[in-house]
Structure 1
Amino acid sequence: MEKRIYLKNFDNYLQILEYDTYEGSHRITTRDEITKNNVKISFGTFVVEGNNVVGVYATPKGPVFFKNETKLLGSLGAIKVEIQKNVKPGINHFSLYSKGQRVFETTYLDRDGIDCNPYDTEEEDINMFVMLSNATEKSQFFINYTKDWL
């Protein structure tokens, strides 16, 4: 069953991801286009790294983590995120595991912006990968990402 959702970009306010939750097909669009067409934005977020889109969105069964077409319904205790900092200068490595098996991985660039405003004081405020690493260890994250579809 096809379900198209629209997600905010964690790094870029103007970008929205149109994502097919069945096939994983996707395209980047603009906030203006979504607003003009009166489309509702779903609960979740994503980033663009090279040719990849990586993110998470809420479903009635819990959070779904994705990289392009690869998707995984996550649950507390089954999901583990591993981050390796500076595998090369300014480049980090993100891996998502489920029950000990790596589901997907990607490299990502350092993010700038800590203390640019009073709200961005921790790395997880400006870096979705760090946010996911911290959040997936907390039950509240899984509760927050268990929601009806928008």
Structure 2
Amino acid sequence: MVPTQLGNSPGGSDEVLRHFELSILTEGAGTQIFSTTFVQWTARELLRRARPDTLVLRYAPRQAERPMNELISVEDAEQELDPRGSLVDAEMGAYYTWINLNRLQGEENCRFIAWHESGTTAIVVSPTLAKGTVSTQSCDVEQLLRWSLG
């Protein structure tokens, strides 16, 4: 998925959005190097600044760790991806997003869903679900959303 698929045009004219993008890239720790860090930091800042009603985060595989001189090299070396590290990053990013969500006013009404697209487990936290609720039935994202909304 790329920004244009969501209706965002490259080089858009929205000054506020461009300022936000620049601040994410310059203030976030590692956001220029790891896509997973960019997603987690963006979620944190969106929750803090905009307090959206809905926030969908998608973590993609990040590049494998390499020495800094290789990362900033101008050579177009093929990037090796790190799927296992990306999954760990996504799990931690989801956890940090949950923590940041709980810091907001009205957090008792928030809903949180995290899942791995190829996985077999998900977590849904919602005021409509009792704590400790477990389902063993197979479901899709639509079902997770229905459960979270009650």
TM range (shorter): under 0.3
Which has the larger strand fraction? 1
Normalised to the residue count of structure 2, the TM-score between the two structures is 0.24
More RCO (CA 8 Å, sep 6+):
1
Normalised to the residue count of structure 1, the TM-score between the two structures is 0.24
